[in-house]
């Protein structure tokens, strides 16, 4: 497993995005990748809706986002001069998801971009994995995207346009031991995106998946087990061809923004690997 | 409605996401087949973004490629930022009717040519350059196609070649990727030719930029669901 160190981010120079007048909804936005996505979209002019479970989950051992962190993300978005509403939302709960989307529609009239980013990771060999652990990860990482899409798509259809980007993983296309729940869910989001892209083909609504390699956020704390890391390293090799450290979450945000921009018009049902060559082998 | 954002629209009603502004000022980009649809559009886009563009000949003859590389080095040292290798369409033919020369020609043009460019031109990406290699291919990179066994084999092969180059150049942090447009990109008569060409150009810009610096050894599928799939989708029967 790569080194979990404070990764230096080098600002991108070759591109300036434009999300003026766009309403962007980001889940899992209290910290980590979701917070990065939210802040960057806001920086380039978007009106934001940010959400997070902001609480504990039964099988998750590492630190999840908090209400305080969620509001910090919201304040950061507002600091760019744009409106931002924040909502505590468990994406496993259909009523909470619907309520969040209804709130966004009532306030802003539409949702132009959905970044379905909320996700967790829990680890166990299959034979000892509690069903509740399996369900918790499947419901957060896969069902959550289903519920969000189901709630947002009618509004995007009405608007005739929209962008959906789902956070995948290297485990969307690969696999590794003791992550059956996570791997199944992350494979599932690709299938969900591909199928939904066909359902939405005539509406200028695109659905794509971005697949990061190890990113320097709290979720990677679960990979601290030395024995597992040794096994994983032997199986996978380098998680990042370019550096030992994990990558900064803003590197993932760049891919999200590209797909959500006008440039993403001709891509739907696609999977973008931001994996620093991890899956090349 | 309180708090409702303005209903800004752009032309055809498109609203989701504005166009990014690219900046490649003082960057050097070498592009093959600039006399074709793909390379021509890329050249226009990169020059509009401030880059200096070198027109490259994609050839399976090593001496031709060596000469070009020497010319680049004479003029610019090891200051090449990006290399864009453009694929081209081929005529379909059933395998059982295919002459060996036909097969050899497609492999030479679509695999050996890129190999030679990788061998002689990529070393010109020195310290401080963006270090980007983009190959443009097609849907044959990931799927089979009736009557295109030579092109499909070639497209798959060049993707493998790109992945290997990515592994070999990782110490220099060179990104190597393949962008796969639809077949409309090479067909001026296709209804979505312009859109496909624009999508390919935009993907090449992104893959050549520092916004994609951790994207390597992968292929970008510039795809939308087919017209058949749209017409027959279950959700609206």
Q: What is the DSSP string of B29-62?
A: EEEE-TTSHHHHHHHHHHHHTT-EEEEE---S-H
Answer whether residue A133 shows pLDDT above 90. yes
Q: What is the mean pLDDT of chain A?
A: 91
What is the structure's pLDDT at B235?
A: 52
Q: Which of A109, A162, A279 lies nearest to residue B5, judging by beta carbons?
A: A109
What is the structure's pLDDT at A127?
A: 87
What is the structure's pLDDT at A2?
A: 57
Answer whether residue A138 shows pLDDT above 90. yes
Residue B14: band (very low, low, confident or very high) from pLDDT cuts 50, 70, 90: very low
Q: For residue A42, give how far its alpha carbon lies from the nearest alpha carbon of chain B (Å).
A: 13
Residue A168: band (very low, low, confident or very high) from pLDDT cuts 50, 70, 90: very high
The reply to whether residue A109 touches residue B206, judged by beta carbons under 8 angstroms, is no
Residues A145 and A160: their CA atoms lie apart, in Å, by: 20
Residues A17-30 have a mean pLDDT of 96
Chain A residues closer than 8 Å to B1 by CB:
106, 109
Answer whether residue A8 shows pLDDT above 90. no
What is the structure's pLDDT at B7?
A: 37
By the CB < 8 Å criterion, does B203 face chain A? yes
The reply to whether residue A255 touches residue B210, judged by beta carbons under 8 angstroms, is no
By the CB < 8 Å criterion, does B220 face chain A? yes
By the CB < 8 Å criterion, does A264 face chain B? yes
Say how many residues make up chain A. Answer: 281
Residues A110-118 have a mean pLDDT of 97
Environment class of A1 (CB within 10 Å of its CB; exposed 0-12, middle 13-18, buried 19+): middle
Among A7, A170, A19, A165, which Cα is nearest to A82's? A19
The reply to whether residue B22 touches residue A15, judged by beta carbons under 8 angstroms, is yes
Q: At what angle do helices A249-260 and A32-43 cross, to 10 degrees?
A: 50
In this structure, the number of other CB atoms found within 10 A of the CB of residue B5 comes to 19
> Which residues of A participate in catalysis according to the annotation?
182
Q: Which of A108, A205, A274 lies nearest to residue B3, judging by beta carbons?
A: A108
**Which contacts of B33-38 are long-range, i.e. CB under 8 A and separated by 24 or more positions?**
B33/B58, B33/B86, B33/B88, B36/B86, B36/B88, B36/B186, B37/B185, B37/B186, B37/B188, B37/B193, B37/B197, B38/B86, B38/B87, B38/B136, B38/B181, B38/B185, B38/B186, B38/B197, B38/B200, B38/B201
* Residue A232: both structure tokens together: 């994983």
Residues B162-176 have a mean pLDDT of 93
Residue A4: band (very low, low, confident or very high) from pLDDT cuts 50, 70, 90: low
pTM: 0.89
Q: For residue B152, give how far its alpha carbon lies from the nearest alpha carbon of chain A (Å).
A: 20
Residue B2: band (very low, low, confident or very high) from pLDDT cuts 50, 70, 90: very low
What is the structure's pLDDT at B10?
A: 34
Chain A residues closer than 8 Å to B22 by CB:
14-15
Environment class of A120 (CB within 10 Å of its CB; exposed 0-12, middle 13-18, buried 19+): buried
Residues A267 and B224: their CA atoms lie apart, in Å, by: 6
Residues A80-97 have a mean pLDDT of 97
Is the model more confident about B225 or about B179?
A: B179
Interface test with B, best of A206, A266, A267, A279 (most B CBs within 10 A): A266
Residue B56 pairs in a beta bridge with: B32
**Which contacts of B32-37 are long-range, i.e. CB under 8 A and separated by 24 or more positions?**
B32/B56, B32/B57, B32/B58, B32/B84, B32/B85, B32/B86, B32/B117, B33/B58, B33/B86, B33/B88, B36/B86, B36/B88, B36/B186, B37/B185, B37/B186, B37/B188, B37/B193, B37/B197
What is the structure's pLDDT at B18?
A: 81
What is the structure's pLDDT at B229?
A: 53
Q: For residue B96, give how far its alpha carbon lies from the nearest alpha carbon of chain A (Å).
A: 33
The reply to whether residue B206 touches residue A21, judged by beta carbons under 8 angstroms, is no
Chain B residues closer than 8 Å to A106 by CB:
1
Chain B residues closer than 8 Å to A197 by CB:
224-225
Is the model more confident about A212 or about A225?
A: A212
Q: Which of A15, A204, A280 lies nearest to residue B20, judging by beta carbons?
A: A15
The reply to whether residue B170 touches residue A277, judged by beta carbons under 8 angstroms, is yes
- pLDDT tens string A231-273: 777 777 778 888 878 889 999 999 999 999 988 888 999 999 9
The reply to whether residue A269 touches residue B206, judged by beta carbons under 8 angstroms, is no
Q: What is the mean pLDDT of chain B?
A: 88
Answer whether residue A66 shows pLDDT above 90. yes
Strand bridging mode B82-86 / B175-180? unpaired
The reply to whether residue A268 touches residue B215, judged by beta carbons under 8 angstroms, is no
What is the structure's pLDDT at A40?
A: 97
Is the model more confident about A87 or about A264?
A: A87
What is the structure's pLDDT at B230?
A: 53
- pLDDT tens string B67-97: 999 999 999 999 999 999 999 889 999 888 9
By the CB < 8 Å criterion, does A240 face chain B? yes
Residues B119-135 have a mean pLDDT of 96
High-pLDDT (> 90) share of chain A, %: 73
By the CB < 8 Å criterion, does A262 face chain B? yes
- In which residue are the tokens 């909804």 written? A25
Interface test with A, best of B11, B16, B227 (most A CBs within 10 A): B16
Q: Are A38 and A23 in contact (CB under 8 A)?
A: no
Among B22, B11, B119, which Cα is nearest to B62's? B119
Chain B residues closer than 8 Å to A161 by CB:
13-16
Query: Which backbone phi and psi does A245 adopt, to 5 degrees?
Result: -75, 155
Environment class of A169 (CB within 10 Å of its CB; exposed 0-12, middle 13-18, buried 19+): buried
- In which residue are the tokens 């935009």 written? B202
The reply to whether residue B20 touches residue A276, judged by beta carbons under 8 angstroms, is no
């Amino acid at each position: 497993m790569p080194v979990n160190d404070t990764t230096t981010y080098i600002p991108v120079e070759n591109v300036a995005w434009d999300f003026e007048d766009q309403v962007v909804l980001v889940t899992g936005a209290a910290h980590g990748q979701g917070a990065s996505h939210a802040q960057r979209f806001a920086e380039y002019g978007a009106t934001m809706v940010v959400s997070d479970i902001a609480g504990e989950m039964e099988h998750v051992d590492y630190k999840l986002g908090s209400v305080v962190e969620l509001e910090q993300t919201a304040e950061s978005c507002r600091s760019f001069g744009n409106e931002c509403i924040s909502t505590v939302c468990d994406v496993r709960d259909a009523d909470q998801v619907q309520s969040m989307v209804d709130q966004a529609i009532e306030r802003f009239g539409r949702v132009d971009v959905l970044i379905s980013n909320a996700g967790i990771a829990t680890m166990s060999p299959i034979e000892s994995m509690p069903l509740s652990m399996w369900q918790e990860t499947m419901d957060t990482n896969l069902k959550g995207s289903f519920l969000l899409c189901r709630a947002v798509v009618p509004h995007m259809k009405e608007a005739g346009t929209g962008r959906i980007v789902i956070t995948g993983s290297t485990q969307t296309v690969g696999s590794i031991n003791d992550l059956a729940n996570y791997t199944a869910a992350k494979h599932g989001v690709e299938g969900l995106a591909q199928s939904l892209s066909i359902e939405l083909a005539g509406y200028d609504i695109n659905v794509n998946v971005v697949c990061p390699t190890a990113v320097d956020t709290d979720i990677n704390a679960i990979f601290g087990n030395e024995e597992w890391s040794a096994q994983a390293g032997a199986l996978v090799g380098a998680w990042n061809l370019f550096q030992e450290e994990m990558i900064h979450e803003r590197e993932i945000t760049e891919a999200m923004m590209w797909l959500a921009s006008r440039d993403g018009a001709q891509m739907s049902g696609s999977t973008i690997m931001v994996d620093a060559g991890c899956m090349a082998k | 409605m309180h708090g409702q954002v303005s209903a800004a629209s752009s032309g055809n009603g498109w609203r989701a996401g504005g166009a990014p502004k690219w900046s490649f000022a003082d960057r050097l980009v070498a592009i093959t087949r600039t006399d074709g649809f793909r390379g021509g559009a890329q050249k226009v886009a990169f020059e509009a973004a401030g880059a200096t563009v070198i027109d490259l000949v994609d050839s399976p003859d090593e001496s031709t490629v060596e000469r070009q590389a020497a010319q680049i080095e004479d003029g610019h040292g090891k200051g090449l930022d990006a290399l864009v290798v453009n694929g081209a369409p081929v005529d379909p033919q059933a395998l059982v009717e295919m002459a060996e020369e036909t097969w050899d020609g497609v492999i030479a043009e679509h695999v050996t040519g890129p190999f030679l460019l990788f061998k002689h031109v990529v070393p010109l990406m020195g310290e401080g350059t963006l270090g980007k290699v983009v190959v443009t291919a097609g849907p044959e990179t990931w799927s089979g196609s009736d009557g295109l066994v030579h092109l499909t084999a070639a497209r798959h092969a060049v993707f493998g070649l790109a992945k290997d180059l990515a592994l070999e150049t990782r110490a220099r942090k060179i990104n190597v990727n393949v962008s796969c447009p639809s077949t409309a990109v090479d067909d001026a008569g296709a209804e979505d030719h312009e859109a496909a060409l624009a999508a390919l150009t935009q993907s090449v810009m992104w893959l050549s930029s520092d916004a994609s610096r951790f994207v390597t050894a992968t292929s970008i599928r510039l795809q939308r669901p087919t017209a058949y799939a749209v017409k027959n989708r279950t959700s609206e029967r």
